């Protein structure tokens, strides 16, 4: 029998063992903590403790034995309790068995044995338990060969996968999430059961769905998870905007790339350079406007005119439907999608100071994120082109640095304020003020005048004269 006594180094486990002994309760650490401990995935911060008895009572006893007697949070509806100690968050629950109805993923619960509790777990790798009992401390209880599944990198359900996924459809997303996070494969029967039960995902709240999608997107190689979502039919139910990108059409011998699989490559590329969840969302959605804008022109071939603008509008509808945040995070993703082609166009042409100034001004503080996204968008398999495109982007980056250092146009406001324009020409709030401010901004971006007060004021006087305004000292 495998024993992990030496791995349970945190003092909390000795305290739990003592509390369990005092109460005469069988106690085990179970689930993700055990899995990650065996995989040596760093120091887990969350611990699930199952008591064959009253978990809330055990939590209170543990608190009594701890030096600072931490507060015990009790969740009576769920029969669980939680406390924090020794840099860990420990949740206590009594062993239970569950039964489900077809309309809900919330089970009917009754007291059970450790075996019952392990049977209700989602996957074999999450059903392993380590004893915290004094006589068997550290012993691994692994009724479903989860240890072997860890070795062969397999996601498998303890019981019939058809029942497991139908009972709680969220487990379908969890299976795919673990496969993506751990780079595991989903066992064949289990994968087929997900396909069969995919429509059951509709009873899961959008918030729960998004939580799993975010975890998939934050995994080291998100394409593993999104490929599985696609192949099981779940992605079409959750994000049809993405699956609409799949396929290659050919007319008169002219073809376009498969924008769905290209998108997954872009997401993998960007994931090598950033852990920013919202920048990864931007990579995932950067081409969604291509499906509704795709057209064939005999002269131009396949076109996707305005796909960035259309895509940015689609971001709002997708975020709203999935109940993603409709705040600055959504606006950031929209902005990245809207501007996703701008640096690419610059990298393909002669880079002018004017074009770079406009890019810096429009991107503002997100210029670096935008460049990271666009470099991730290079998915050509031609080594010569790949090198050329990356070299071109380095030229653009250098130009951005030079222009920014010289002209300071990132998030700039025209050096002359609206109040000064009103005072100079004796105006009340009117369209003329906006005309002059825009003219100053355009002159700076075009390089006609430097981004300095004296030059901007002189230009203001010139523009005012052109549109027939008279300065106060002339009246």
The predicted pLDDT at position 390 comes to 82
The helices-and-strands tally (H runs, E runs) of the chain is: 24, 15
Shared fold status for 5-152 and 154-238: no
**N-term to C-term CA, the chain:** 99
Res 404: pLDDT: 82
Question: What CA–CA distance (Å, rounded) separates 412 from 410?
Answer: 5
Q: What is the DSSP letter of 121?
A: S
**pLDDT score, position 45:** 84
How many residues are given for the chain?
475
Provide CB contacts within 8 A for 363, sequence distance 6+. Answer: 335, 339, 342, 370
Q: Does domain 154-238 have CATH number 3.40.1020.10?
A: no
Give the residues across from 129 on adjacent strands: 30, 141
Listed as ranges, residues in the chain with pLDDT below 50 are 475
Query: Where do runs of H (alpha helix) occur along 183-274?
Result: 188-197, 206-217, 222-231, 234-238, 240-243, 259-271
pLDDT of residue 379: 86
Q: Assess contact for 90 and 132: CB atoms under 8 A.
A: no
- Sole residue written with tokens 């980056």: 397
**Which pLDDT score is estimated for 474?**
59
pLDDT for 254 equals: 72
- pTM of the full predicted structure? 0.85
* Per-domain boundaries in the chain: 5-152, 154-238, 418-474
Contact call for residues 333 and 281 (beta carbons, < 8 A): yes
Nearest to 424 by CA among 380, 378, 457: 457
- Nearest-CA neighbor of 287 among 322, 327, 256, 254? 256
pLDDT of residue 103: 62
Residue 109 is predicted with a pLDDT of 63
One-character DSSP codes across 60-105 = HHHHHHSTT-PPPEEETTTTEEEEEETTEEEEEEE-EEEE--TT-S
Could you tell me the CATH superfamily of domain 5-152?
A: Beta Polymerase, domain 2 (3.30.460.10)
């Amino acid at each position: 029998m495998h024993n992990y006594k030496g791995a349970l180094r945190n003092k909390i486990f000795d305290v739990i063992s003592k509390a369990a002994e005092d109460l005469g309760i069988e106690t085990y650490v179970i689930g993700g903590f055990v899995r990650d401990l065996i995989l040596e995935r760093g120091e887990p911060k969350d611990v699930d403790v199952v008591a064959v008895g009253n978990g809330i009572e055990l939590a209170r006893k543990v608190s009594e034995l701890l030096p600072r007697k931490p507060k015990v949070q009790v969740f009576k509806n769920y029969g669980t309790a939680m406390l924090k100690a020794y840099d860990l968050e420990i949740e206590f629950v009594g062993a239970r068995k569950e039964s489900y109805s077809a309309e809900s993923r919330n089970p009917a619960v009754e007291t059970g044995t450790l075996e019952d509790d392990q049977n209700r777990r989602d996957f074999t790798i999450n059903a392993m338990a380590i004893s915290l009992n004094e006589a068997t401390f550290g012993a691994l209880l692994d009724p479903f060969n989860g240890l072997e599944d860890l070795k062969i990198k397999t996601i498998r359900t303890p019981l019939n996968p058809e029942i497991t996924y139908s009972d709680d459809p969220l487990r379908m997303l969890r299976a795919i999430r673990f496969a993506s996070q751990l780079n595991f494969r989903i066992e064949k029967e289990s994968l087929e059961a997900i396909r069969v039960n995919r429509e059951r995902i509709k009873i899961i709240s959008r918030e729960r769905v998004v939580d799993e999608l975010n975890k998939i997107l934050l995994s080291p190689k998100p394409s593993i998870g999104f490929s599985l979502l696609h192949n099981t039919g779940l992605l079409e139910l959750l994000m049809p905007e993405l699956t609409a990108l799949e396929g290659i059409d050919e007319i008169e011998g002219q073809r376009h790339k498969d924008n769905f699989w290209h998108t997954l490559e872009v997401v993998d590329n960007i994931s090598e350079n950033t852990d920013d969840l919202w920048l990864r969302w931007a990579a995932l959605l950067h081409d969604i406007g291509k499906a509704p804008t795709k057209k064939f022109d005999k002269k131009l071939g396949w076109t996707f005119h305005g796909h960035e603008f259309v895509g940015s509008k689609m971001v709002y509808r997708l975020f709203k439907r999935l109940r993603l945040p409709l705040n600055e995070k959504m606006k950031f993703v929209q902005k990245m999608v809207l501007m996703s082609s701008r640096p690419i166009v610059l990298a393909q042409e002669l880079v002018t100071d004017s074009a770079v100034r406009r890019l810096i001004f429009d991107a503002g503080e997100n210029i670096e994120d935008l460049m990271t996204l666009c470099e991730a968008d290079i998915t050509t398999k031609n080594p010569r082109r790949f090198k050329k495109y990356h070299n071109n982007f380095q030229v653009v980056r250098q130009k951005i640095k030079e222009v920014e250092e010289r002209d300071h146009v990132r998030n700039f406001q025209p050096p002359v304020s609206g109040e000064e324009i009103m005072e100079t020409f004796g105006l009340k709030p009117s369209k003329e003020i906006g005309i002059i401010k825009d003219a100053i901004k355009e002159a700076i971006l075009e390089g006609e005048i430097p981004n300095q007060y004296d030059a901007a004021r002189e230009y203001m006087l010139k523009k005012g004269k052109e549109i027939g305004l008279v300065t106060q000292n002339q009246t």
